[in-house]
Structure 1
Amino acid sequence: MTFDKQILVSVTGLTPQVVTETLYALLTTEKTVPTEIHLITTTNGRNRALRDLLDSQSGQFHAFCREYGLSGRIHFDASMIHVIEDADGNGIPDIRTPEENTRAADLIVRLMQQFCSDENAAVSVSLAG
């Protein structure tokens, strides 16, 4: 079965390199290239991802895409980073309390429900961090 959308959902902490590691695994073992990537993380994780993955000059996501001929084929930008929020809607810097853990789980479930309800999408998931 083929799908119009191949969505990679990656849950990361302060190690955003798992995104490029997962991309490599999907490309080499599954022969799959996501059409879009969604990252679920904290504010600290978002900042690290913006710097280490998405920086236009030194971002490893862009370097990976150039190296493997994937430039322009995968939609992944700052709007695809979903930050876990506290009860007041503020991004949390780190998951330290049971409440923050619950809020992380709620966001993961809500986004997975959204992505998996699309009949034209296949969803791959990487949980790390």
Structure 2
Amino acid sequence: GLQKDGVEADLQRLLAEQVERIAEGATLVRREYPTAIGPVDLMVRDADGAAIAVEIKRRGDIDGVEQLTRYLELLGRDPHLAPVQGVFAAQEIKPQARVLAEDRGIRCLVLDYEDMKGIESGIPRLF
């Protein structure tokens, strides 16, 4: 949600194409899934059909966790979606943000931008 910088927009696009990073057997419902307070970055369903809302940041701090918490609260009221799991995805997640996320039952996912771009291009990279 909110304004994305170039890297965040790119991460959102890549993660939408590589949803199995979020959950095995996951499928994308849509990017920028609308809520009354703004769009959540990705809405996916896992292999069992359970809804997962994903907020993507370059640097994951407490504000991002708070934002996702608000989205989850609203989305959880939708009988077609509830219960909705939350995934907080970022290149780097601050320790306090991780503690808060885990306390709220939100899963943290660290994104490797270079690795994701490498998969997209299909060009094997030398390490």
Normalised TM-score (structure 2)? 0.38
Structure having the higher helix fraction is 1
Specify which structure has the bigger relative contact order, considering alpha-carbon pairs within 8 angstroms and separated by 6 or more residues: 1
